[in-house]
Structure 1
Amino acid sequence: MIGIDSVSRLNFIRQMQQTRRFLHNELKAFEMSAYNKVADNTFVNIVPMMVGKFVSEIGWNETMPKKPFDDYAFLWKNFSKAGYRTLYAEDAPGVAIFVYSKGGFHTPPSDYYNRPLAVAMEKHKAVWSTGHHCIADRLETTMVLDYITDFSRVFRDKPHFGFSFITRLTHDNTELVSSADFAYLKFFKRFKEEGHLNNTVLILYSDHGYRFGKMRASYIGKVEERLPFMYLIFPPSFHQKYPSLVSNLRTNAQRLTTPFDVYETLKDILYFDGEDRKADINKRGISLLREIPTERTCEHAGILPHWCLCLEQKKLEPTSQLANQIAQAVVSQINRQMSSVSHMCSKLKVSTILDIVEMQPNDKVLRFQNSFHDVINRMEVYGEKSVAPIVYQVTLSTFPGHGQFEATIIYDSVLDIYKPGGDISRVNAYGDQSKCVNNSKLKKFCFCIE
């Protein structure tokens, strides 16, 4: 598994053209075009991918910044127990997935772990060049890819599992993605030429799209943030031996998928038996080796309204009384969350409502009752529209501090109240505005009084 931080599918298409062409033409990769993130940042999307649960379901929260992650049920442990040699590799050790504002690992999570080297290199400033992206004349990304290649060479004919995530080059700048296009192309060419892909499944993925900046404020920016890229590469022999599973993968490339599905896919690969099983739509995670039902919704897949792109949007007037009610509900929620640090952080007020939309579920989803026949004379029966909650997505700025936030609000018509529909996202950088607090969840809200 090779992850690249903060790269949407569309940005991958724009900036990784050589690599993408090779993935499609030479490696017959499956590109998941409707791969939807399920949470905000890297950490909360990787946990569903590697544990099969939301972070809130594994017993971790922001009150445990020093608790190590050694005892959590990451899937690489299953591979290790099954006799696989394991690798865990990241760059940028200061912002590593399980380290940034967290306890990290107190014992190596895998047989091969590059963190000691990454930390040592970070301390020696003289070896870095080109904006801290190169070590002498080598791109840092290339060093991680070379480590993965060496691992695959050593265990060419033995079971092995590698998890890697490359952050620094792409985390803060959408335009630097293309700088690594040749590095990834070279990696994949060499990997193929050396025969590693003859008996290896390779997953190339991102956690989410770019989360900050002017582009993020646009509609397409919001779309890109929610749709990271995801490619799956299977050996040529797999295509020949298991045509029905290949057909499922090809179909699923156009279906709604999530990190939970990647987790189930990895389990199917670990315990692979070649059977083509029917997917259960009521399960949050569905293996990509099983055909995902067309009627799958964000609710089925565990995607909160805040992240779901299956909703039709209707723009509302930002100066309306309704917009003001919704904005006030968002800022009240922010201030409630900051109650424990109210002596250090300013109470926020609504400054400007930048954008507000009413999000409407697909009409067919609301009216669907039943379907008959799978192929010939297939038909769907629709009835009265079921009652759906009224969902709003609002982008607003606050003062003091000029923070910009995006939130989903659900109107409860029974109680006549507006309720949060998920996490509230900060969509502009906050820099040192919140240096007075250490809680990673509250940093995005706080504007320090002094």
Structure 2
Amino acid sequence: MIGVDSVSRLNHVRNMPTTRDYLLRHLDAIELQGYNKVADNTFVNIVPMTTGRLVEELPWNEQKSGEPFDPYNFIWKNFSSSGYFTLYAEDDPRLGIFNYIKRGFRVPPADHYYRPFALALEGDNSVWTSDHHCVGDRFETDMILNYTKDLMKLYHRVPYFGFNFLSRLTHDSISNTASADTPYSNMFRDIDNQGLLNNTVLIFFSDHGMRFGEIRETYIGKLEERLPMMFLVFPKWFYKKYPQITQNLKINRNRLTTPFDIYETLKDILYFTGDVKGDVDVEQRGISLFEEIPVSRSCDHAGILPHWCTCMSQQELSNNDQFYNMSVNYLITYINQQFVLNNVTDMCWPLKLGRTKSVHVIQNNDKLLKYKQSLNDVINRTVSFNAKRVLSTYIFQVAVSLMPGSGEFEASVRYDETTGNFTMAGDISRINKYGHDSDCVHGSLLHKLCFCK
């Protein structure tokens, strides 16, 4: 498991193209595009990933900040008790998941524990260069990844479990993610070329997107904060040997997933049987990715509080809503513009509204749009809201019947509150037959739009 702090899926697309390309094209990685965090910061998202519980369910609260985490059953303990050699490594000891305003571990949590070395480095300012990102001429990120690579080489023929989390490079700067592209892509290429992934599952992930800064004030920034990257890489022979599991993994790429699901998947990897249950309860909070996650799963089912939920709500507008007519009028104007652009106004009648069947608005829930900040820097389950929500983009699904010809159309149009402009948000669907009504024109778009004169 290799984690990178504060990298949303979209920021990974923007700033780590080489790593992304190697994961998807060469390693056949499974990318979870619907992966949603369940709480605010690193600690409260890693705990569900490694214990299957929310922080308060451990139970743990700030009153226990002076107590070590040794008594809690993290997943690496399960691997260790099953005979696996273990590694735990974080770069910045000040921001350690279990050390920031917390006690950490009294006994090293793994056979190989990077923290003593990290503390020694941190205590010697003379060794740091390049804005505290390099030790002498060595990139700190490379040092951690090489430490992990050494583990993989040493224990290649016996079971091992490694948990790495790197914060310093990406925690404070969204643009620094670009600097992470080369070390991670090199790491994955090296372990692949050396055959170290032939018997290993690689999980490359983040805890959340950027939680502060200018991007955090935007609508897309609010979404990115909640949608971190998540990749799983299995040996290529695994995909062939277990086709049902592989099919489920591919289906789950576009389903709503959370850190709770990663925990259940880790358990299935540890206690692997190759079997698929096939009957999953949609209300089960954590579901292994080896099972097909129900398409009907909601944030409530998955244990995601409303203010972290990025799922869209849909509501039918009444005919006296201002956007009801505005969205319909825009669609009709757009359709008629196609006749002008394609020089067929002498062949096709201009279309007019016959009947509006329905207009639905699809938008993020109001709590997400008004979310301001967490009041507590550790638990972060108590939130405050702005009085005024952030400006958003709305999608209107419009269904109309147009004259002449009684053509029935469905389309999605987008309204941007910032600019006050409409645009199309996809193709136009013709949902009744047009027969020979458009024989005078050519092309799939005009065929479904035109009613010949």
Q: TM-score, normalised by structure 2?
A: 0.71
| Corresponding residue of 2:99 | 99
Matched, 1:30 2:27: no
The superposition leaves residues 366-419 of structure 1 with CA deviations (integer Å, 9 ceiling, x where unpaired) of xxxxxxxxxxxxxxxxxxxxxxxx9644648xxxxxxx6479xxxxxxxxxxxx
Q: Which is greater in Rg?
A: 2
Question: Are the counterparts in 1 of residues 374 and 381 from structure 2 also a CA contact under 8 Å?
Answer: no
Q: How does 1:345-364 map to 2 (within 5 A)?
A: none
Deviation at 1:118, TM superposition (A): 0.2
Paired position in structure 2 for 1:294:
295
1:260: which partner in 2? 260
Q: Write the letter of the residue equivalent to 2:285.
A: R
The Cα shift of 1:237 comes to 1.2
| CA displacement 1:138-187 (0-9 Å, x = unmatched) | 11111110000000110000000001100000000000011111101110
* Aligned counterpart, 1:141: 141
1:280 is displaced (CA, Å) by 2.2
**Distance in 2 separating the partners of 1:392 and 1:264:** 29
The 8 Å contact of residues 367 and 385 in structure 2, kept in 1 or not, is answered as: no
Per-residue CA deviations over 1:231-267 (Å, capped at 9, x if unaligned) read: 0000011011001111100000000000000000000
- Distance, in Å, in 1 between the alignment partners of 2:381 and 2:135 is 41
Deviations 1:194-217 (A, max 9, x none): 111000000000000000011111
* Equivalent position of 2:405 in the other structure: none
Instruction: For 1:288, give the aligned amino acid.
Output: L
| 2-structure distance, mates of 1:422, 1:85 | 34
> Residue in 1 aligned with 2:202?
202
1:395–1:405 contact (8 Å) kept in structure 2: no
CA contact (8 A) 1:53 1:260 kept: yes
The answer on 1:305 being equivalent to 2:306 is yes
| Matched residue, 2:108 | 108
Distance 2:143 2:220 in 1: 33
Distance 1:286 1:87, change over 3 A: same
In structure 1, the partner of 2:220 is 220
Contact 1:87–1:110 at 8 Å: present in 2 too?
Answer: yes
- In structure 1, what is the equivalent of residue 321 of structure 2? none
SS in 2 for 1:169: coil
The match for 1:430 is: none
Equivalent pair of 2:37/2:45 in contact (CA under 8 Å): yes
Give the letter for the 2:383 counterpart.
Answer: I
Correspondence 1:244 to 2:244 = yes
For 1:109, the aligned partner's letter is P
Q: Is residue 2:142 matched to residue 1:183?
A: no
TM-score of the aligned structures, taking structure 1 as reference length = 0.72
**Aligned equivalents of 2:12, 2:274: Cα separation in 1:** 31
8 Å Cα contact 1:305-1:422 kept in structure 2: no
> 2: distance between equivalents of 1:304 and 1:51?
18
Contact 2:68 2:103 in 1 (8 A): yes
Q: Distance in 2 between matches of 1:228 and 1:121?
A: 29
Q: Percent identity?
A: 54
CA contact (8 A) 2:262 2:289 kept: yes
In structure 1, distance between residues paired with 2:106 and 2:13: 38
RMSD, aligned CA: 1.8
The 8 Å contact of residues 394 and 406 in structure 1, kept in 2 or not, is answered as no
Unmatched 5+ stretches in structure 1: 315-389, 397-403, 408-420, 428-450
3-state secondary structure, aligned to 2:152? helix
User: Counterpart amino acid of 1:267?
Assistant: K
Partner Cα distance (1:159, 1:426) in 2: 47
How far apart in 1 are the matches of 2:75 and 2:188? Answer: 25
> CA 1:265–1:213 in structure 2 vs 1: closer, same or farther (change >3 Å)?
same
Alignment of structure 1 residues 33-432 onto 2, 5 Å:
33-278=33-278, 279-312=280-313, 392-393=367-368, 395=370, 405=373, 423-424=382-383
- Gaps of at least 5 residues in structure 2 are 316-364, 387-453
